Amino acid sequence: MSRLYTRRYPTSGYSPEQARELTALSRDLGRQIGLLIDRQGRPQMVLVGDFASILIPELPRSREGSGRLRGLRFLHTHLTSELLSQEDLMDMLFLRLDAVAVLAADEHGEPQRMQRAHLMPPNPENRPYMLYPAEPWDRARVDFTAEALALEEELARAWSAECERDAGRLPGEQGPAPRRGRGPALPGGERGATRSFPGVRERAETGGQAGKGPENRAVLVSVSSASAAAQESALAELAELARSAGVYVADVMRRRVRQVNPRSILGKGSLAELEVLALRGNAGLFIFDGELSPAHLGNLAEITERRVLDRTQLILDIFAQRALSRAGRFQVELAQLQYMLPRLVGKSRALDRLAGGIGGRGPGESKLETDRRRLRDRVARIKANLKELRRQRSFVRARRAKSGTPTASLVGYTNAGKSTLLNALTGSTATAANLLFATLDPTTRRLRFPKEKELILTDTVGFIRSLPKELLEAFRATLEELEEADMLLHVADASHPELELQVKAVEDILEYLGLAHTPRILVLNKIDALDDGPARAGNPDEAAAPDDAAGPRRRQLLEQTFPGAFFISARSGEGLAGLGEALAGRIDALRVRRAGDAAESPDPLRAPQPSSSELPLRHEPPPFREGTGRPAPSRRAEPPVAD
């Protein structure tokens, strides 16, 4: 067996003497024998299994790059007439082997037949690999090295062509309609359904070239028992999260299941398809929609060499990119540590149970326990720092309260246009971008009106459905700004096809934070995009309407769905005048509420809000001087203010 390491195997596979040597040794031992051979013909590993199977150990992570294979082919023996099995093909997929071949031996240890297989580049039939028919062992003629090099060249060419197509697309430009089709045919007849979002494949606005290397390219995965429409919606939002994080979406896999696989989320056939999609798309990331348990993460890490993330980790990564202030970095680190603690696992026992001296004898403390203790200590220090931060911010809010100036906070779903609205109302230059969670740290500006009226306006972090609980707990210091607000401006994206779901998600989070009874105004932003936005789900009549009538019809439907809401466009300025007058008319009522007289007199804030049909529909400039936030002279009469 040791002499097998000294052999040099030709690129054609083996010589007749080498084939007889392998099958004779395998028959004498009564076990399968396998060789991992590099492209120079040198055996890198000699493996011995049992009578029916053989286990390939963890291989070194090498040759990771655009369309690159492992650089190893696997030649092994079978002691029965069975040829390449499903396990052999799965090993080839997961390990990215150049090829896999089997030599079947008879009862006398003589080779009988040979069968081989290799992976396939993108092809019209969507086949993940090529399985050749068996042939007599002494007639097999193939150049494994040339075959592997040609396959790598095809994979690299396909990936380069895709990058060139996407490089010609402007940032934010939508590509062709999503490709729907049947996934690669897998062993056992399983075939998967995949969906791609070409429009998301673009340069991220956070900097850098998204998709430059495998570490920035991902395959999105959704495994759920929800409806197809709900699953597609969740995948679209996950794709936007990936874009905001600077990740290029190479492909998407969707699975509707009755029950999630308790061990690895997906079955082995679906995991094999996932590997094929990642190999063809040069992706080094798998991003799962939803939150993976510690057991799922550990099992997936043992199966695949690619990095596995879930939706929570992706959101935490976006927050880490956006954290600019010291407080923001502390809060993000706390959320990451709280997420990491239950998922911390140790694989090495090299430093296990190191202890000694008085009080240290016995089992000692493992390396894993030491890491957990250090993380808990770091969490305690960060919480202490955040407690001090909350104390300092409470002093600032107390000074504001003494001044008697009412405060209002902008809340809403992420990327609804809160920062753009803050800039439009106050003339400030706060960061605003068409990305999810573009704003992390709170921004406070003073809004001045005629007759010496003022309002303090605060922009806060955006919300999202299924917001990770770690973020809610870590950002308690930031969310306290909402608790001290006299009024909330709930900003929503009127052009989004899931507007109602987003509004409900924000309302649920506000209720969780104990802010359900805080007075609020619903502001529907981006009405200028109603003509260009997609038709609302569940309304086929609107989808069939002409383009020039779709916008007014959608607005009419929104006015019926959200009576009393303000319809504005923070980008164009439409509707800002009516919103500004409504805010100015409520300042005195807010002062009364802040002074504590609200309990003795009716709360004017509870009065019905003006109908959106009463607001001006034409473009009007806001009643503020641009760049200063100071009021501009207005010829319109001030709205009545309740005493």
For residues 311 and 318, what is the distance between their CA atoms, to the nearest angstrom?
A: 11
Q: Which two tokens stand for residue 431?
A: 């960061």
The letter for the amino acid at 98 is D
DSSP annotation of 600 reads T
The letter for the amino acid at 569 is S
> Whole-prediction pTM value?
0.71
Q: Do domains 171-320 and 404-614 have the same CATH topology?
A: yes
Q: Which helix (H) or strand (E) holds 579?
A: helix 576-595
Q: What is the pLDDT of residue 61?
A: 65
Neighbouring residues of 335: CB distance < 8 A, sequence distance ≥ 6: 316, 319, 468, 470, 471, 473, 474, 475
CATH class of 404-614: alpha beta
For residues 42 and 145, what is the distance between their CA atoms, to the nearest angstrom?
A: 12
Residue with tokens 């808990």: 376
For residues 520 and 31, what is the distance between their CA atoms, to the nearest angstrom?
A: 74
For residues 507 and 536, what is the distance between their CA atoms, to the nearest angstrom?
A: 21
For residues 250 and 248, what is the distance between their CA atoms, to the nearest angstrom?
A: 6
Which parts of 261-366 fold into alpha helices (H)? 268-281, 294-303, 311-322, 326-340
Q: What angle do CA 266, 270, 276 make, to 5 degrees?
A: 130
Q: Which CATH superfamily is domain 171-320 in?
A: GTPase HflX, N-terminal domain (3.40.50.11060)
For residues 96 and 305, what is the distance between their CA atoms, to the nearest angstrom?
A: 10
296: nearest Cα among 311, 283, 281? 311
For residues 14 and 9, what is the distance between their CA atoms, to the nearest angstrom?
A: 5
Which parts of 201-293 fold into alpha helices (H)? 228-244, 268-281
| Tens digits of residue pLDDT in 498-534 | 899 999 999 998 888 888 888 889 999 999 888 654 4
Neighbouring residues of 395: CB distance < 8 A, sequence distance ≥ 6: none
**Backbone Cα Rg of the chain:** 31
Compute CA 480 distance to the chain's CA centroid, rounded to the nearest angstrom: 27
For residues 410 and 489, what is the distance between their CA atoms, to the nearest angstrom?
A: 5
Q: What is the pLDDT of residue 549?
A: 63
The neighbouring-strand residues paired with 221 are 253, 288
| End-to-end CA, the chain | 97
| Residue ranges covered by each domain of the chain | 2-154, 171-320, 323-347+366-385, 404-614
Q: Which two tokens stand for residue 204?
A: 């991220």
515: nearest Cα among 489, 554, 488? 488
For residues 324 and 235, what is the distance between their CA atoms, to the nearest angstrom?
A: 29
488: nearest Cα among 528, 516, 529? 516
Q: What is the pLDDT of residue 554?
A: 86
Q: Residues in the chain with pLDDT < 70? A: 61-67, 162-213, 345-366, 400-401, 476-478, 531-550, 592-643
Neighbouring residues of 470: CB distance < 8 A, sequence distance ≥ 6: 312, 316, 335, 336, 338, 339
